[in-house]
Every structure is written in structure tokens, then in C-alpha cells.
Structure 1
Amino acid sequence: METNIQLFYQGILENGDKRTDNWLLVYSPVPISCVFLCYLIIIWVGPKLMAKRRPANLRPVLIVYNFAMVCLSAYMFYEFTASSWLAGYSLLCQPVNYSDSPSAMRMARVCWWFFVSKVIELCDSIFFILRKKNSQVTFLHVYHHATVIFSWWAGVKYVAGGQSFLIGLITSLVHVVMYLYYALAAVGPSMIKYLWWKRHLTTLQLVSMFTLFFSMLLSCQNSSLQLKNDHLLSFRSLLCFCIVH
């Protein structure tokens, strides 16, 4: 039994994309699992520690954080767009390019950045807890973070690129708009009159999720692992949106 587990774990380590093995948090599932375990501990203990404390004033932190996420999302959107456009990617049937060519490595790097951005977004839950908005940290909220982080870890580990580029491209664009809204809202009441477009943000999220869902349904069978990842992410996004709304 122990030998089988060791062989299985060794297979996880050795059967990945050799180009990404040395990148932060990629080679083994242990580091990212430890990060997520710490996250779970924080969201479990945090509300108890904050129970008798006043909500933290995080306005300056939230402004900086959200604008930083706008910049990171804009960078990733540009990289996904440029990398796919220059390489002549197909919107529905794009296999992974495992070569060390500049275009293939550029796509792999932006996939890694997208994965890292999902790790950074764990801060969203911590901010909710510090502001005593515990009702926002629902099972669905935690499930969303878990599926995205581990799906994109597997994506970067085994299939860095390919058809999943479309998920990163569209999601990054939506996050530019979403985090811009959060950043402006964090400035204070003086910005409310400029946030009339909030209802359009919801529409944008809905359109993007249905676009991804149907694009993955129509995608060809390039890689079973990649296709499972893409379908999981698309279905998860659609499910989360439908439940929340």
C-alpha cells in the first residue's frame, strides 16, 4: 500500500511539463496544498478571533490591493492575447505546445502568472474576515477558490497552454473591470456616482461564463487532462454564478 502511494506520488512529480518544474509552487502539490490548508485554518479561526473586535479599517489596503489586481489582470489579458494571436491559436481546438520556443514559453509563463493570481486572491477571504463580513465567506466562496487553485496548478504542471488560454484571457479581462469597480468603491461614498455601471459588470460576468462553458463543450479532444480541467473550470464558474444570483 505504502509503495503504491509512493509510486503514485512519484508519478505526479515526474510526469509533468518539464518546462515548468522549477517554477514556484509547481513541481509538487505539497506547497500549494500547504498554502490552501493555511487558508482554511485562517477562515476557520479568523471569525473567532474577530468576534469581540471591531471591524478593521482596510480602506487604504483595499485600494492598493484592488488597483494592483487591476494591473496584474491587465498584464495577463495582454499576455494571453498577444501570445495566442502571434502563435495563431485556435479558439476551439488548440493543443498544448510543449516546445521551448519563445511563443510557447511566453504562454506557459502567463499561465503560471494566472495560477499565482488565484493564490493572491485568497486574500479576498481574509479581508472579509478582518472587516467582519463573514457572511461573504460561504461554502461556495471557499469551493470556488479550491477548484480554481488546484485546477490551475494541474494546468501549469501538466498542460501549460493549449485550449485553457481562452479561460485565462476572458477571465483576466473580466477581472480588470471587476477589480476596478472594487478599487473605486473602496475609495468611499464620493465615488458612488461614478459606479453606475455596476449592473453591466454582472452582465459581463454572465456572458463570459456562458461563453467559456459553451466553448469548452465545443472544444476538440486534444488532451484528456486539459479537457477535464477546462470543463471543470467552465462548469464550476457557471454553477457558482447561477447559485449566487
Structure 2
Amino acid sequence: MDLLKEVQRLWIEKIDPRVVDFPLIQSSYYVPLIIFAYLYFILRCGPRFMKNRQPYSLKTFIKLYNIIQIVANAWLVYDHIDAGLFTNNLQNISCSVVFDYSYDYTSLRLCRTVWYYFLLKILDYVETGIFVLRKKNNQVSGLHIYHHVSTLFYAWIGVRYLIVTPALIGSMLNSFVHMLMYTYYFLASYGPNVQKAIAPMKQWITKIQMVQFIILILFFSHNFLPNCKIMEHWVVNLYIFNLIINFYLFYDFYKKTYDKPKSKI
């Protein structure tokens, strides 16, 4: 009961005042409704709509979408660094400050940066919609769905309550990985010959994604060291638990896709 009361208090009373007026942040219903609509479309509405239809090509749209994702994620990586994540927040990494709601220029700019990152996680849902409309049902996997739903949910929670260095490191790393991933997708959209040439890149992107999760697990674990607590331990445990699930799903995908035993001649 104490945990439930703490969650209720955090949910209602502890929204970061610096972001309370940002669109989609203050409401407790908009983002859950977006997630519900996403799941309903990709699991029921979309497949039912496509059942007796030929798959759409969407080649031009896919190229444009990938370009937007590459540019947006590259800009987010730059914006995290240019806003002073490392130069102005290095003391957070060494555990010498406590969590607060600073209104200095760097803090306010980083709040805006993380909000842009949150909006980009909503845009990521377009990718699954493309899979459905192209009848690439094998790509709408449990890994894909869980990763997209959990990433948006935790990005939303992060903007509302936890714009601190570990969360900022997470959003920057994720943006970097997505920049690489959508670069691969953009190149792959040019057909089988290009796909064959860049095939090794796909395996390395999966490895980089797993390394990302390990880095973030270690970084969030700093919260349990003496004099390093900037978030409640149960909040950090939830974040780490989600990272472990994502790591396991990606590792399982890697084993099944790239680590198959070679057939004997």
C-alpha cells in the first residue's frame, strides 16, 4: 500500500514544473491512448483492413520517412551535446549533486531536447504501420512491439518526472543508435543488391543496441552507490528491469538470426 501511495503521489504531484505546459505531457491519458491506438491498429484493425488487399509499396514514403528519422536523430545527438549534457552535467555522473528542478539555460534547453526525443518515439510508430500496410507481418514481432511501447512509455515518464543525467544519456544513446538503424533502412530501401552489400551492417546494429542497454544498466546502477542517489530506488529498478527485458529480447533475436549453427557438409 505504501508503494501504491508513493506511485500515486509521484504520478499526480511530482510532474516536473519545467515541462508541465509541454503538449502531451501534463495529461495522464493522451500517451496511454496513443499506445492503445497503436496496439489496436497493428494487432487488429490494420491486419483486418489488409486481409483481402495487396500489400502497398510505399517506396517513396519509406525513403522520405527514413531521411526524416536520420536527420531528426542526428540533430538530437548534436543537441544533447551542444546543450551541455557533458560539460555542464558532468558533476551528475560523479554523484556530487542531488536531483532538482533547475531553471538555468542548460537545464531548460535539455528539457526541450528530451521532449523532442519523446515526440520522436511517437513518430517511430509509423514504422510498424508501414510493416502492416506492406504485409510484413513477420516484422511485427514481440520484440518490435515491446520495444516501441516500452520506449515511448518510459520516454513519457522521463519527461514528466526524471530529466536527470542517466535519462539524458539514455535518450542521446538511443538517438545515436536510431540514426545508424535508419541509415541502414534507407540504404536497404534501394533494393536487393544494396541490401546484400550492407548485410553485415544489420548485425552490427543489433550488437550496438545490446551494448546500449548494458551501458544504461551500468549507468542507472550508480544510483545504488553511496551518496549517488538522485532517484528513488524503486524507480531505478523499474528502468533497469525494462532494460534487461529489452536486452534479452534483442539477444534472443541475435541468436536466432545471426548465430545459427552452420550446417555440416
1:114-165 deviations in Å (ceiling 9; x for gaps):
1111111111111110010112212332222221111111110111233211
Alignment of 1:49-198 (within 5 A): 49-82=49-82, 83-89=84-90, 90-91=92-93, 93=95, 95-192=98-195, 194-198=197-201
1:171-198 deviations in Å (ceiling 9; x for gaps):
1111111110001111223533652541
> Per chain length, whose mean CA-contact separation is higher, i.e. which structure has more relative contact order (CA < 8 Å, sep 6+)?
1
In structure 2, do the counterparts of structure 1 residues 11 and 171 end up closer, same or farther at CA, with 3 Å as the change threshold?
closer
RMSD: 2.4
Q: Is the 2:166–2:219 contact (alpha carbons within 8 Å) kept by the matching residues of 1? A: no
Q: Aligned partners of 1:241 and 1:15: how far apart in 2?
A: 33
- 132-141 vs 148-157, greater mean Cα deviation: 132-141
Q: Is the 2:166–2:216 contact (alpha carbons within 8 Å) kept by the matching residues of 1? A: no
Partner of 1:85: helix, strand, or coil?
Answer: coil
Partner of 2:189: helix, strand, or coil?
Answer: helix
In structure 2, do the counterparts of structure 1 residues 207 and 56 end up closer, same or farther at CA, with 3 Å as the change threshold?
same
Among 203, 227, 230, the residue aligned to 1:222: 230
CA-CA distance at 1:56 after TM superposition: 0.4
Q: Aligned partners of 2:27 and 2:241: how far apart in 1?
A: 21
Partner of 2:26: helix, strand, or coil?
Answer: coil
Partner of 1:153: helix, strand, or coil?
Answer: helix
In structure 2, do the counterparts of structure 1 residues 201 and 140 end up closer, same or farther at CA, with 3 Å as the change threshold?
closer
In structure 2, do the counterparts of structure 1 residues 138 and 15 end up closer, same or farther at CA, with 3 Å as the change threshold?
same
Q: Aligned partners of 1:95 and 1:235: how far apart in 2?
A: 26
- Give TM-score scaled by structure 1 length: 0.87
Q: Is the 1:221–1:227 contact (alpha carbons within 8 Å) kept by the matching residues of 2? A: no
Q: Which 4+ stretches in 1 moved above 6 angstroms?
A: 8-11
Q: Which residue number corresponds to residue 204 of structure 2?
A: 200
Q: Aligned partners of 1:122 and 1:164: how far apart in 2?
A: 21
Matched letter for residue 242 of structure 1: Y
Q: Is the 1:148–1:233 contact (alpha carbons within 8 Å) kept by the matching residues of 2? A: no
Matched letter for residue 231 of structure 2: S
Matched letter for residue 33 of structure 1: P
Q: Is the 2:55–2:134 contact (alpha carbons within 8 Å) kept by the matching residues of 1? A: yes
Matched letter for residue 59 of structure 2: R
In structure 2, do the counterparts of structure 1 residues 141 and 221 end up closer, same or farther at CA, with 3 Å as the change threshold?
same
1:24-46 deviations in Å (ceiling 9; x for gaps):
11001211111112112211111
2:256 is equivalent to residue 242 of structure 1: no
Partner of 2:34: helix, strand, or coil?
Answer: helix
Q: Is the 1:73–1:173 contact (alpha carbons within 8 Å) kept by the matching residues of 2? A: yes
Matched letter for residue 158 of structure 1: Y
**Runs of 5+ in structure 1 lacking a partner?**
none
In structure 2, do the counterparts of structure 1 residues 92 and 59 end up closer, same or farther at CA, with 3 Å as the change threshold?
farther
Identity in percent: 26
